[in-house]
Chain A
Amino acid sequence: MELPPSDAVGSADRAEISRDEIRRRLHDPTLHVVDVLASEAYQAGHIPGAVNLPLADLPGRAADVLPDRAAEIAVYCAGPT
C-alpha cells in the first residue's frame, strides 16, 4: 500500500471553507463533509454527518463513498495544518 507523502496534505493552492459555513450547512445534503482521519479517530468523534475516508484508503475507497466527482466537498483532518 502506497501511502501519500506527507506534503500532499499541505499543498498551498487549495480553497478553504470556514468553520461557520460548515456549521451553517450541517444539514445541507449538497455539501459532503469528509473526515480523512483514521477510522478510530473518526469513531471517537467527528463533525455530524461527516463521511470517513482515511487518508490511506483515499485512492481505493473515494469512488465508492463519493461517486460524484463534481460534488461539493469539505475535507478536514485533525487540526491546523
Chain B
Amino acid sequence: MGLLHELGYTNVRHYHGGMAEWTATGGSIELTTPSPSNGGGGPAISPGREARAANRSRSQQWGNAILDAIESRSTAQLFLFWLAMILACAVVYWLGGLSHRHGLISGGTPVPFTPAGLAVSIYFSFVTATSLGYGDVLPMGALRIVAIMEAVAGLLVFGAVVSKFVSRRQDQLVREIHRVTFEQRLARVQTDLHLVLSELQAISAMCAEGNAQAERVAVRLESAAMVFAAQLRAVHDLLYRPQWTPEEAVLEAILASLAAALRELADVLACLPAGFRRSPMLDGACRRMARLAEEICGECVPRAFAPALTIWMDRVQATARRLVPPL
C-alpha cells in the first residue's frame, strides 16, 4: 500500500483479494466487539498478548469448526450421519467376533463372524447408541471402549438432531421477523431521504433568496443535517453489514436519492454567506457524513454490485468530499 510506504514502512505486502476473497474461499473470520479501553481501534501488538490470543483463537477455532459443521448440515444429514456411525460401530463389533478376547457375548456364547452375527452386532450397536443398554448382549475387551465412545457420541449427535428439529420452526419465525423489520427499515430510509432532500431544497431556496435570516437558515440546516447523517449511517450499514440483501433496484433508488441529497447539501453549504460559521453540531454532522461516505464507493464496499450501483456509490463519495472544507 502506497500510504504505508510513505510512512516509512519497508516490508509491506498487499493481499490483493482482500476480505471479499478471504471469506469467499472459506477463510476463518474473527469478530470483535468494540472495547472501551482502546477507543474501538485494533489492539496494540504486544508479544505476550498476541501469543495468548493465538492460543485462544486456536481452541475457539476448534469449537467453532464443530459447531459450524452441525449448523451447516440439515437435520436429515445429521440423522444419516448418526445412522452411519451406528452401522460403522456395528461392523467393528462384528469384526470383534474374529478374536476370542474382543467380541460380543450373547446369552453366554460368543457372537460369531457370520451374517447372523452381523444382525446381532447391529442390534447391539443401536441399543448402545440410544443408551438403552438392555444388557442381553455384552461387549468384551477392547469393544467395551468402542461401546462407551459410541454411547457418548450417539447421544451427542442425536441431541443435535433433536434440537435442530425443534428449532426449525423457531428459526423460520426469527427469519421472518428479521425480514419484515429489514423491509420496514428500508422503506423508512427511503422516505426519510426524500424528506431530507425536499427540506434541503427548501433551505437552498431560502438561501438563494438572500434576504432570509442567516440564523433561521442555520437552525433548519442543522436539524436537517443531523437527520441526514443518521440516514447516511443506515445506508452505510446496508452496504457493509446487511442482514438481508436489498433488491438492486431499491438500493439504486436509495443511492440515487442519497447522492442527490448530498449534492443539495453541498450546494447549500456553498451558498451560505462568507461570514457564516458552522456550529459544532453542523460541523460534526458534516465530518461524520464525509467519513462514512468515504467508504461508500464501488471499490471499497465488501460486496460487488452492478455497474449502475457503483456509479452512484462513487458519486456519493465524490460529493461528500465537498462537505468538509479542506484544511
Contact = CB atoms under 8 A, between A and B. Distances in A.
Q: Are A and B co-members of a single complex? A: yes
Interface residues of B, number: 66
Given A27-B54, A39-B40, A79-B17, A19 B25 contact: yes
B327 interface: yes
A25 to B, nearest CB: 11
B66 interface: no
Nearest to A9: B1
B36 to A, nearest CB: 13
Given A14-B2, A56-B291, A49 B57 contact: yes
A77 B19 contact: yes
Contacts of A74: 12-15
A40 B53 CA distance: 21
Contacts of B236: 40
A24 to B, nearest CB: 12
B29 A46 contact: yes
A3 B2 contact: no
Interface string B34-60: 100000111111010011011001100
B14 A15 contact: yes
Contact of B327 (A1, A8, A19, A51): A1
Given A35-B42, A36-B1, A48-B30, A79 B304 contact: yes
Contact of A78 (B13, B58, B300, B326): B300
Interface string A37-81: 111111111111111111111110111111001111111111111
- Determine the interface band of chain A, counting residues with CB < 8 A from chain B: 35 or more
A42 B32 contact: yes
Contact of A62 (B4, B19, B299): B4
A43 B15 contact: no
Most buried by A among B4, B51, B294: B4
A81 B153 CA distance: 47
Contacts of B327: 1-2
Given A9-B1, A51-B43, A72-B11, A19 B27 contact: yes
Interface in B243-283: none
Nearest to B28: A48
Given A15-B14, A75-B1, A75-B12, A43 B7 contact: no
Contacts of A55: 3
Nearest to A63: B7
A16 B34 contact: no
Contact of A76 (B15, B28, B58, B299): B15
B42 A76 contact: no
A18 B16 CA distance: 8
A41 B295 CA distance: 10
A22 B84 CA distance: 37
Given A36-B1, A51-B42, A55-B3, A15 B32 contact: no
Nearest to A59: B7
Interface in B294-315: 294-295, 297, 299-304
A65 B42 CA distance: 8
Contacts of B324: 1
Contacts of B7: 58-59, 62-63, 69
Given A49-B54, A69-B10, 17 more contacts: A6-B299, A15-B14, A16-B15, A17-B14, A19-B25, A22-B15, A23-B27, A40-B241, A47-B19, A48-B29, A49-B53, A52-B41, A61-B41, A62-B7, A69-B7, A75-B15, A78-B18
12 contacts: A3-B294, A14-B1, A17-B14, A32-B45, A34-B4, A40-B237, A44-B240, A47-B27, A52-B42, A76-B18, A77-B300, A78-B19
